[in-house]
Amino acid sequence: MTKTLLLAQTLRFDGNPFLNGVEAARHERHGAVLVENGRIADVGCADDLRAAYPEAMIQDLGKALLLPGFVDAHMHYPQTAIIASWGKRLIDWLNTYTFPEESRFGDPDYAREIAARSFDLTLASGTTTLCSYATIHPESVDAFFSEAQQRGLRALNGKTCMDRNAPDTLRDTAQSAYDDSKALLEKWHGVDRLSYVITPRFSPTSTPEQLEALGALWAEHPDCLMQTHLSEQTDEIAWVRDLFPEARDYLDTYEKHGLLGSRGLYGHSIHLEPREQDRLSETGAALIHCPTSNTFIGSGLFDFAMAQRLRVGLATDTGGGSSFSMLRTMAAAYEVGQLGGTVLHPAHLLWLATAGSAQTLHLEDKIGRLETGLEADLVALDLSSTSAIAQRSARAEDIWEAVFPTIMMGDDRAVQQVWVKGVPVKT
């Protein structure tokens, strides 16, 4: 098998910068990554690796920064076509835009079209792993996984389950949610680089009976992830309180039905009560921060102090989120941190978009870092992709001053190249 030696600046993490400080990030100005058989075979200084592997084919990326491919830990691929729809709060936004669009995904041809478009857009932005919601239609799950499988991508997805407070065209039942999810899980989970995720949309659109059924399915398949939404907006929380008057809080509506655990992914998690934070920490659950969505829909500010206690990932939440780009998402996370009184270092932001999100998905042994043995999903960033970015980065005195302008102002033009299992997919 051909060995390819990628020469570039590299950035590696020895630990979580939220816990170990920004010194956990290690920059190599003249670095190299050896790719062989779809995996990272070695990482180090360019001169050392060139001497050690004289037979390797050389690809010199110049001053580009080589990173793990970005990991989007929460998105809705069926909402691709309605991204940046104007002017609604969460519940109105769902009824006005989301539900009518998702009703179309019983059509396999349409589902395949949007799945392909979604992967095109995210790969162009340097994202190599998606964890997505589908719709209630099994066809929407099949379309997503089929497209990911064809491209060789690592991807996660699940049928979105709803049996109340949704249009008739988007309702299933407690039993059909269990049956469909189980059949799709058995069909796709663990095939190639694909993982099934048990997916109740959120408590307001599931009866207690449906939540109970999905909790039972998770107990039967504890190696699967479970994803849902939690405490995104204050009016949503009030709605949950009305629907579940016996619950101690929003999280309790999941906990009572077997939907709280270490492999749980809780999107947004902005307005958490102290008890909820404690239980999430005790169980080892993960929070998924969706900053462009939270600001676009006016939900609130994520509390980054929780990153000291909980695993936190980063996500676009398209189409409620307003960009497919994890660069733009990192920029929004920085701005949210500023408004909330937490100054995020570029090391924090890059960690969240790569290793941090990989950890929340329990994929840290496969993706998210430049480490020997991991899968060679990579992105090379041009740190001078526009004239505005170039004139600022030219004054940089270290890697952080060089990369921060790209985080704050970059877009798909900054993505010089993307590799999936060592194979270039963007030229």
The number of residues in the chain equals 427
Q: Residue 421 — left, alpha, or beta (φ > 0 → left; ψ -120 to 50 → alpha)? A: left
Domain ranges of the chain: 3-69+369-426, 70-360
Identical topology for domains 3-69+369-426 and 70-360: no
The correct CATH number of 3-69+369-426 out of 3.30.70.100, 3.30.70.2860, 2.30.40.10, 2.160.10.10 is: 2.30.40.10
Which residue in 281, 277, 247, 245 sits closest to 261, CA to CA? 281
Distance CA 236, CA 315 (A): 20
Give tens-digit pLDDT for 130-181.
999 999 999 999 999 999 999 999 999 999 999 999 999 999 999 999 999 9
Fold of 70-360: TIM Barrel (3.20.20)
Instruction: Give me the residues paired with residue 83 across strands.
Output: none
Report the range of poorest mean pLDDT among 9-13, 85-89, 93-97, 112-116: 85-89
Q: Work out the average pLDDT over 387-392.
A: 98
Residue 415 in contact with residue 405, Cβ under 8 Å? Answer: no
Whether the model pTM is above 0.85: yes
In angstroms, the CA 341 to CA 411 distance is 26
Q: Residues 198-256: pLDDT tens digits?
A: 999 999 999 999 999 999 999 999 999 999 999 999 999 999 999 999 999 999 999 99
Write out the H or E segment, with its range, that includes residue 285: none
25-44 pLDDT per residue, tens: 999 999 999 999 999 999 99
Residue 1: band (very low, low, confident or very high) from pLDDT cuts 50, 70, 90: low
**Residue range 65-94, pLDDT digits in tens:** 999 999 999 999 999 999 999 878 788 888
